[in-house]
Amino acid sequence: MNKKTLTLCLCAVAFCAGLLIALIHEMKTTEKTDEGKEQIINPFYSQYSTPYRTAPFDVITLEDYMPAIKKGIEIAREEMDAITKNPATPTFENTIAAMERSGEMLSRATSVFYNLNSAETSPAMQALAQEISPLLSQYSSDMLFNKALFERIDYVYQNQDKENLTSEQKKVLRDTWKGYAEGGAKLSAEDQEKLREVSMRLSQLSLQFQSNVLKETNAFRLNITDEAQLAGLPKSAMDAAREEAEAAGEEGWTFTLKAPSYSAVMKYAQNRQLREKMYMANGSVAIKGGEADNRAVIDEIVKLRGERARILGYATYADMALEDRMAKDAKTVNEFLASLLEKALPAARRDVDMLKEYAKKHDNLDTLQAWDHSYYSNLLKEEQYAFNDEILKPYFQLENVIQGAFYVAGKLYGLTFTEVHDIPKYHPDVRTYVVRDEKGEFKAIFYGDYFPREGKRDGAWMNSLRDQNKVFGDNQAPHIINVCNFTKPTADAPSLLTFYEVTTLFHEFGHALHGMLSDVTYTSVSGTAVPRDFVELPSHIMENWAKQPEVLKVFARHYQTGEVIPQKYIDALMRSINYMEGYATVRQLSFGMLDMAWHDGRVDEYLADENHDLVKYERTAMAPTQLYPVVDGTAMSTSFGHLFSGGYAAGYYSYKWSEMHDADAFEYFKENGILSREAGEHFKNTILSRGGSAPADELYKDFRGRSATPDALLRRAGLVK
């Protein structure tokens, strides 16, 4: 069983119901039973017969998952039994490689389920996730606690010098051995049972947390019928709000907490009360009491994470999570965050003081609140640089920005992307592309899912439906998905992006390239299977090309006239790159500091107090970064999906850690050519194609010839001279 099957992500999302399910069932292939009756074949039971073996979304129904996952577990158990009962002396091939080849059908079903459970959910699918999660947790625990299996793994590990293993095989062996040795294989039966219960409950709580956030986010709708209250909002935001209202049979304009709707109000609405109302709604998600309140969920999650760590011999969850990451321990992380805060805090305070002065002059506002920041920041930016997002948006049509990202991938890595329409999709909005290399050889399938929906969680992310591998001999191409929540088209205009959305698209595409360009043998080290504090390097570095004038001139064209973005706008954009960078850096550091407070041991005292207060604890953790007055009735933690349902626990610092590496790495491209194919090949060959086949610090040194330092990051952010 490969590691990715063992560590299945637990997200939340749905597929189809009602008439659609009935129609899909009619389309399914059937076979004859022994009695001569026809029965529907579960699409997960065999290799897909679709183009490029893509997931057959057009025939998959909610009813297919449970039987496929149960059968997948059954088959995987039989495969693992065959490994443990093999009478031959354990070797890498008959033990580790055999494990890598196992669980294929289970991976097929779970990869589709959990991808959709993030991008297209429903109450029925969320309920099913709560049923599936314990089954997978039980199976994972059974494998990790299998002493006979671990004895074979340990034999191979202790005798590896007797085999002529490649460096990748050594890394896979080490990862597998460590995963089992420290995952419970050495524990007593009593501790194994405790760990099993903890793991199962944690998987359920993660799903519950995300379900609560989605429920609360979808529940908020602000309908306004007085247009005067919406002064300042651009036409694009007004059109989107009107369409939202019309779709619900409402008059006027309706705003939601989905990113495009929420951010438009916070940035442009002159009505301060409206901004405050939206801010309070967003900040109070899952903290208002009732069934969807996440405070008790968080308490139980952090308690169980600490318990899991102690069962496995670690003092804190952070100690356990960080051991195999580049940072290694909580002390290094906290010192890293503190050192950046020391550099950024003075600049952040200057940013806020500048806004306070501007708001006083502009509107005679005496006290600036958190819901004022985006609005006055945008106004001041427009005055200082003579442009704003609304001026730029006509030049950032989604289709053109996508082609811009493809252009960079072509220049650096020789890739071409051809949109096709014969690959099944899980939603009509999804776009599908066949990716080929410079020789025209098939490289990957790429899915782009760009618009918000009620069943899609907020944010942006990359996932894979199939990871690149060669475990069965042939090279199985990866199937990669980018999921975003960008501004939707309206009746009057296509999807036009803010520059922030442009960089988000490039960021997620960087993750996609990491998956698509993988060239390893074993699935467990394929693509993005790298330490959390290294995985953001390919995504962060990709953002740099969205900010290069020579790239902007390729994709930034007016959606109506085709005019290339004027040089004056490029110049203004370049001058404004570091605008409010001090504030943005401190804000990001505040999230990392909150994360560590939940996981580095300080939380034990919080949990020990019967009258503990989550909001008070959070504010204490974030106090060093507080730039605006505290707002009662709000909290960050209760909707902080990265920490409690997204895999970034004790790892949020990795965004800044990866930025340090990306700033340092991009200087290599500036030295050797921004669009240099030779530079791109070097980055691909040393980092992108190698996945997790070597330690992350080794991969970076292979690329750069040395370790990264914060110097380039601080220079780029304008925080040092």
Which of the residues are catalytic?
A: 508
- Compute how many other C-beta atoms are within 10 angstroms of the C-beta atom of residue 427: 16
153 alpha carbon, distance to own chain's centre? 32
Cα 170 to Cα 97, 156, 250, 525, distances in angstroms: 12, 10, 62, 11
**Cβ-proximal residues to 261 (8 Å cutoff; 6+ apart), any chain:** 237, 240, 241, 244, 255
Contact 132, 63 (CB under 8 A): no
**Cβ-proximal residues to 678 (8 Å cutoff; 6+ apart), any chain:** 672
Q: Which of 558, 510, 555, 557 is nearest to 534 (CA)?
A: 510
Question: With the CA atoms of 704, 706, 709 and 715 taken in that order, what torsion angle do they form, in degrees rounded to the nearest 10?
Answer: -40
> Residue ranges of the alpha helices (H) in 53-188?
62-84, 98-101, 104-119, 123-144, 147-158, 167-180
254 alpha carbon, distance to own chain's centre? 28
Helix (H) / strand (E) containing 151: helix 147-158
> Residue ranges of the alpha helices (H) in 312-437?
317-322, 330-363, 373-385, 389-392, 398-413
What is the C-alpha to C-alpha distance for residues 420 and 427, in angstroms, rounded to an integer? 15
What is the C-alpha to C-alpha distance for residues 551 and 313, in angstroms, rounded to an integer? 50
Bridging pattern class, strands 479-483 and 461-466: antiparallel
Beta-bridge partners for 481: 447, 463
Q: Which of 183, 176, 170 is nearest to 520 (CA)?
A: 170
Measured between its terminal Cα atoms, the distance across the chain in Å is: 51
Contact 438, 414 (CB under 8 A): yes
How many alpha carbons fall within 13 Å on the CB side of residue 679? Answer: 16
List strand residue ranges (DSSP E) for 543-649, in order: none
Could you identify the residue written with the tokens 């691909």? 684
- Residue 291 is which amino acid? E
For residue 422, with 0-12 CB atoms within 10 Å meaning exposed, 13-18 middle and 19 or more buried, which class applies?
Answer: exposed
- Residue 335 is which amino acid? E
Cα 365 to Cα 223, 354, 359, distances in angstroms: 27, 13, 6
Tokens standing for 384?
A: 């200082």
Could you identify the residue written with the tokens 């017969």? 49
What is the C-alpha to C-alpha distance for residues 101 and 83, in angstroms, rounded to an integer? 11
**Cβ-proximal residues to 407 (8 Å cutoff; 6+ apart), any chain:** 551, 554, 555
